[in-house]
Each structure stands twice: as C-alpha cells, then as structure tokens.
Structure 1
Amino acid sequence: MKWSTRAKMAMKAAVAGWKGQGFDFSSWFGRTFWGIDNSKLATNETIFSVISRLANTISSLPLKLYHNYDSVINPSADVLINMPNQNMSGFDFINKVEVSRNEHGNGYAVIMRDIRMQVEAIIPIDSTYVTPFLNTDDDTLWYEVRGAGGTYYFHNMNMLHVKHITGSSRWVGLSPIEVLKNTLQYDKAVQEFSLSEMEKKESFKLSYSANVDEKKKKEVTDNFRQFYKENGGILFQEPGVTIDEIQRKYVASDTFMSERITRSRVANVFNVPVSFLNDTEGQSYSSNEQMMIQFVNMTVLPIIRQYEHEFNRKLLTEQDRKAGYYFKFNLGGLLRGDTAARTQFYQMMLRSGGMTPNEVRRLEDLPPKIGMAEELWISGDLYPIEHPINERKGGEKSEQTTKE
C-alpha cells in the first residue's frame, strides 16, 4: 500500500466523527426498519431465549471507570456509560453489540472522534457490512464498512470489536448459530413433522363380511361418512361390519426428547447452564448460588473481560492507562447470594476489618453515614482498628499481665 493511500485511509478514520454528509453516517445509517425478520433469532425460541439472557445480563452489569480502585469520570467514560450516541443509552448500546456478537459471532461499533481526537460518539454497526483486513505493508488491522454512501475504512483503534472464538488466521469470530446449523435443522424438521401429525384427522378401517351386499355397504359407508363429518354422534355398527381405528405413529414424548437435545446443544455452544433454558433434569447444583458462580466464572467473566480490554485500549489514552485508569464491570450483583448469605459475609468482613460500614451500605444501595462509619473495625467487641489496645475493654489488664 502506497504512503499516499495509507494517509488517505488514516484521514478517513480520523475524521469519522466530523459533522457533514458522508462523515456522520447520515447517508449510511438512515433507513427505515420494517418487514418480517426471518433470522434464527426471530424464529427459534431457544436461540431467542439464550441470546436474550446473555445480552440482558451483560448490559445490566454496572460499568465504571476506575482510577486506582476509586470510581471516576472523564469525557470518554461519560460517552460510553451515559450516552454513546444521540439515539441510545449505555444499556442499549451494550445490549445491541452483545446481541450482534451472539447472533453473527461479531459485534462492531465505530468510535467517532472530534478534531481533538476525543471520543464524541460510539455507534453500533451491522456486522454484515463490516470486513476486517490486514494492511500488507505494516500488518495493521483495518475495517472496511460498506454503506449506502460509499465504503469507509477504519483503523482498529477506531472500531470496537467483540467476538466469539477465532483461529490464528482469522479476525472474524465464529457464529454460534452457524455452529448450531444442523441442530436447528433437525429441531425444525421434528417440529414440522409433529405439527403435521397433530393436524391429521383420525383414520379408521371398515371391514365387511362376505354376506354384506353392495347396497348395505353403501349405507354403512354413508352413515360412517356422516358420523366422521360431524365429528361425533351415534354410530350403529351393523352385523358383519367391523370398525378399527388406525393408530398414529406420533408420540408426544418424541418431541419432548428432541427439544431436550436441542436445549442441551444450544447451552453447550453458548456456554450457559442448561437450567437457564428451563431444563432442570439431572441438575447437580446444591444451591442457586453455586449455579451462578459457574455461570459467572465460565460464561460472563470471559465476555466482560473482552469488553474491558477493548474499552481500555481504544477509549483511554496511553497516559491514562499508565496513570492507573481502567474500565471495569461490577460482577458483585450476580454473586451477592440470598439475604442470609450476604448478612454472614458482611458480618465477617466488618468484624475482621475487611470493610467499613459505609462500604457495606453502598453495596446494599443505602446512603453512606458520616463519622465512624468510614473507619475499619475489628472484633473486640468492635473497636476502630487504630484504637489503642490499652483503651479497649480489658486492655489495661492485658497490658499489665504482659509486663509482669
């Protein structure tokens, strides 16, 4: 790639946030959303359920910018957390990107910057319009975005990209729905077969003895046809005539087993406990807390770490990162347990000097108290941790015994 072409592409990426036709996506993003969605997300209940759960969980987690464990705010954090763009909130933004990541394997969002290269807006992009590629001159990663107003090129520092697993030779994540293609086809075939079997009417077999003449056969047939048409009534079985029901081959348990297999495979691909898809058979968890611990450690944590690394690398400057700034999702809400478990944890942390009363109140969404609630306490029974030992209960006697 020639230096002039590289400079041109770099300029396109740098001015992605400038106002004006073609640079604010007014001609690319402006379209009316209507019609019928025939994607697997809109037509398969199991896929809709697992993607909804993952997207809602990730977008509901509290996200903050920290500086050496203290929550702070700067312009980039304000854009990301409060208003990524003029059309959506921080919840909507992460929810849309996470849905795209789980549906197509990749979630993209363009970082639009002002003339001072500060983050001005973050806009999710339909993954079907984006193609990553490597510049052969310097091996830098670029993204090609095809829109109605033309084709745009963005350097990787101006494109948030979260994805499912990739190989060493790919930059595009694998789509879980593509992995489940055969499973979903099988599930659809079973559902269509079950539906067609249930829509069939009852079938019968009429048998006549050798002594039944043609006139009598016609009368019996007409009588039975009228009975079948009216779906009930009185049917007189003539001598020499036998009526047998033809048994169906459809068994409801077959559909149930097929659905269980589908739920199990979907849960495996999306890496969630199968109980999240309302399948509790064979569940080995002794408590809901253990199930949530597995869900957080094996599913949620790898996802949010990918988001955090993208935010830290592309929304913070090198100076910010070296100064100790970082984005972090708070997983505490998913691991809080029930009231009894939280009470026991808080008591242990308070009595061992691990947390202050105000830190406990913040975790329970209560306003902090002034004064001694900001100090650490230890059991003795409960003194400020800096309190002199000789001023505690029994402290003078203990000190005298030590001297003797």
Structure 2
Amino acid sequence: MGIFDFFKKRRLRNLAAALNDSRLLEWLGIDPKNTPAIQEATYYTCIKLLSETMGKLPWKYYQDTASGRIRADPTEMTALLTTRPNPYMTPSTFWQTMEMLCQEYGNAFAWVQSDITKTGEVQKPYRWHWRGLWIMHPQDITIWYDNAGIFGKKNQIHYQYTNPQTGETFLFDSSEVLHFKTWYSRDGGLTGEPVKVILSDTIRSLSLSQQVITNNYEHGMTASMVMYYTDELDDDRINKLQEKFANRLITPQNAGKVVPVPRGLKLEKLNNSFVDSQFYELKKYSALQIAAAFGISPTFLNDYEKASYSNSESQNISFLVNTMLPRVKMYEEEINYKCLLPKEQEAGYFYTMNTNALLRTDAKTQEEIVTGYVNNGIYTPNEGRRMLQLPDKEGGDILMCNGNYIPITQVGKQYGKEGDNGED
C-alpha cells in the first residue's frame, strides 16, 4: 500500500513540541525559536481577507431545466450549507475556518456525516439523509493511497483521522471527506502547499525586521554606543560598567534623559539609521511580495500610494475575478461532486456561491442596475424587488420593456409607407 506522508513531519513536530526536546527539533530541521508565520502582520492580513471573503459568500441551490436555471427547493444538505453545518458553527464561521486552514496548511478537510449509501438510499433506522459537516484539523489527517485494493477498489484515496484527545483513529472513503486545497501541489494535485512554505524566507525576513523595530522600542529608540576608557579593566569591572550604563541609556524610562559620564570615560553613538540601510523600503517590498503571492492588491493592505478611487474599484473587481473566483470554483466543484445524490446530479441540481455579494454598491448605483434589468425585460419587477430585499407585489411577474423597441430585422421599416418597397 502506497502512503502519502504529507503530514509526517508535522506529526513529528507536534511530538517534539510535546516533549520539549530542542535537539529533536533541530534534527528535524525546525528552529525551536521560530515564531509562527501567522504573527507576521502582512501574512495575517492576507489570510484574514481571504477567509472573511469566503465567509461572506452565501450558497444557492439551483436546477438546470429545459426553460433555464431555476431556484430549487431546499434539501437537508442545503440547510447544512446555508443554515447550520453542525450544532456548533454558523455557515460564516465554518467557511471562514475552512479557508483559513486551507491557506495556513495548504489543505482543509471536513467530514460529511450522512446516512446515505452510495446508491442514494437511506439506511434505516436513520431519519435524515445528511447529518452534519465536521471540520477535521489538517495536522490530524493522513492520506492513504490504496493501490492494492485492501479497502475495496484499487487505486482509491482514503483519509485517516486521528482524534487528538483520545488517539482513536477513523478511516474515511474519499466520498465522505470534503477536501479543499491551494493551487500549488507537489504530488500531482492530491494535496496543496501553503504560501508560508513557498515564501518561508520572505516571511521570516519580515518577522525578523519586526523584531528589530520591537527591540528598538524596548530600548527607548536609543542607538548602541561604544565606551572609551583610558585605563585597563578586568572582565568583572567591564561587565559591571556595561550593565550600569545600559540600564541608564537603553531603557524606555531613561530615553532622552541626561546621563552623567565619569572623568576618563567617553561615549560615542554607533550610527545605525533605518533610512541609510533602506530598512523600510526592503520591509515594504517583502510585504508586497507576500500579498502578491496571495493574489491581493496593496490597496487591501492600506497601501494607497498608487491608488485612486477609480482603480480601487477596479482592484475590487480584479480581486474577485483573479483571486476569489478560482477558489470559489474549486469549492463549488467539490461540493457538487460529494454533496449531491446521484439522482440529484442527473436531474441537473447544483450548488453555487453567490459572488454578487462581493459587488454590492451604493444605493444610487444599485437603483440604476436594478432599473436597467427591469426596463430592458431581463428581470421582472418582482425579481428586481427581491434584489432589494422587498416583498413581491401583485402583477409584478410580467416582463416589461420599452415599446419603441423593434426586432433588428425590421429596423427602418417604420419609416416607409405601407406597400412601399422603399425606392424613391
């Protein structure tokens, strides 16, 4: 049986952390003093934006029919996706958490708890088809590739979940697990890789630069100094002298105060200017690199240096089209494959995310959009009212349009006389 040991190193990391053995961490190539990437502000902001955006998008249930797409009657799965995935989470919390895990670990998993056989029949005595969606932490998942057919058919994917509290393990078929991943994969698309692995050096450099700024604040923004002394001192006296003047010079309480210097002792400041070392320029460049890797515009990081009102609006549209739509499409494909019964798939039912929720505009623009749809016969008045969250009205289900419009094949005929062939 072939095994994808994608999470093996993470399991060893957890074991080493539990044992508090720094030597084992170093042997694994893990820095025990390395801070989590999520503590870097740019990295955190990007994951926060992607996760919250995914949580904003509501799920819709439709059916493709001969007369076009129509809203379908809700099912048990529709209630899980739109009302309550499980007793402990709202849909917003669930999808935000799934996207956060996906971006942080490269993969996100959710167990689809159901009472349905592969033929779509309910196994008695259960009452409901679908019972819940349960998030499983990526660090507790091991992916198995059954090339020997031990668990059924050959060349099938299975997911092994280990309960971190009890140590109990469960083996799920691939049809029982929703698996969302990032676009970058090193194993043929089976699993994804997070941005923090690909840009580990860039993220670490930003974390270190933040530590430099923090240390300067802790030391009262006072630069390092060299002490000149004309006499010779042993090591003990040197250490005492350093400690004495360090407490007076670099603590925030003494910043900017006058420090008396004994005769024979001279202090000289070491020039270490952030401006001279292009510190802020390099820090900003690294932050933009991380944002670009996530597909996020600098505007979303509060960098308005090259932004205006018009291109900020276009950047919002670009964020939806280039960053979120690939993610949304991946979510929709996984849901429609694993959360619909075979008979529902054959009947043309499908789930989709309403991306229009990201393009909500001001009241005036919204009025112009709805009015244009209704006046041009695209929406009925009641459909337009629903866009504005208003109740239907009697007679509002009839399409209307301007009476002056004519078919394109008859353009010009209105200017000729009846029976005239149009010649002079």
TM-score (norm 2): 0.70
Asked if 1:45 is matched to 2:41, the reply is yes
Q: Percent identity?
A: 24
Corresponding residue for residue 248 of structure 1: 271
> Do the aligned partners of 2:146 and 2:155 also contact (CA within 8 Å) in 1?
yes
Counterpart of 1:378 (choices 382, 396, 401) is: 401
**Conserved? CA contact 2:186–2:193, under 8 Å:** no
Q: CA deviation at 1:244?
A: 7.9
Long gaps (5+) in structure 1: 2-37, 209-224, 386-397
**Distance of aligned partners of 1:242 and 1:85 in 2 relative to their CA distance in 1, 3 Å threshold:** closer
- For 1:198-237, list aligned pairs within 5 A: 198=217, 199=219, 201=222, 232=257
Q: Of the candidates 306, 309, 319, which is equivalent to residue 343 of structure 2?
A: 319
2:168 is the counterpart of 1:150: yes
Cα separation, 2, equivalents of 1:56 and 1:131: 27
Pairing 1:306-345 to 2, within 5 Å after superposition: 306-345=330-369
* 1:148-187 CA-partner distances (Å, limit 9, x unpaired): 3422111110000000022453511111121121111111
Which residue of structure 2 aligns with residue 26 of structure 1?
none
Give me the whole-angstrom Cα distance separating, in 2, the residues matched to 1:96 and 1:243.
Answer: 58
Aligned to 1:177: 196
What is the number of residues matched between the two proteins?
337
Note the alpha carbon deviations across 1:343-392, whole angstroms, 9 max, x for none. 33333322221122222221222222221x2211111379xx9xxxxxxx
CA distance 1:149–1:403, shift in 2 (3 Å): farther
Aligned residue identity for 1:126: H
After superposition, residues 288-367 of structure 1 pair within 5 angstroms as 288-367=312-391
C-alpha distance in 2 between matches for 1:46 and 1:399: 65
> Displacement, 1:285?
7.5
What is the CA-CA distance between 1:298 and the residue it aligns to? 0.7
Deviations 1:233-270 (A, max 9, x none): 6989x9xx998862531326844323312321211221
**AA matched with 2:172:** F
**Paired letter, 2:79:** D
Aligned to 1:378, the other structure's residue is in SS state coil
Partner-residue secondary structure (3-state), 2:193: coil
2:95 aligned with 1:94, yes or no? yes
* Structure 1 position 264 matched with structure 2 position 288: yes
1:197 touches 1:250 (CA, 8 Å); kept in 2? no
Q: Please tell me the root mean square deviation across aligned C-alpha atoms, in Å.
A: 3.6
Larger Rg: 1
**Could you tell me which amino acid in structure 2 is paired with residue 251 of structure 1?**
F
User: What letter is aligned with 1:123?
Assistant: W
Q: For residue 134 of structure 1, give the secondary structure of its aligned residue in structure 2.
A: strand
Distance in 1 (alpha carbons) for counterparts of 2:415 and 2:226: 102
Q: How far did 1:99 drift?
A: 0.8
Name the CA shift for 1:314/1:249 in 2 (closer, same or farther; >3 Å): same
Quickly say closer, same or farther: Cα 1:289–1:337, change in 2 above 3 A. Answer: farther
TM-score normalised to structure 1 length: 0.73
Q: Which amino acid aligns with 1:378?
A: C
1:348 counterpart letter in structure 2 = G
Query: Which secondary structure does the structure 1 equivalent of 2:310 belong to?
Result: coil
Letter in 2 for 1:190: S
Match of 2:126 in 1: none
Which consecutive unaligned segments of at least 5 residues does structure 2 have? 2-34, 117-121, 124-128, 230-244, 407-413
Q: Is the 8 A contact 2:223 2:272 kept in 1?
A: no
Matched, 1:131 2:170: no
Match of 2:111 in 1: 110
**Alignment partners' CA distance in 2, 1:177 and 1:234:** 45
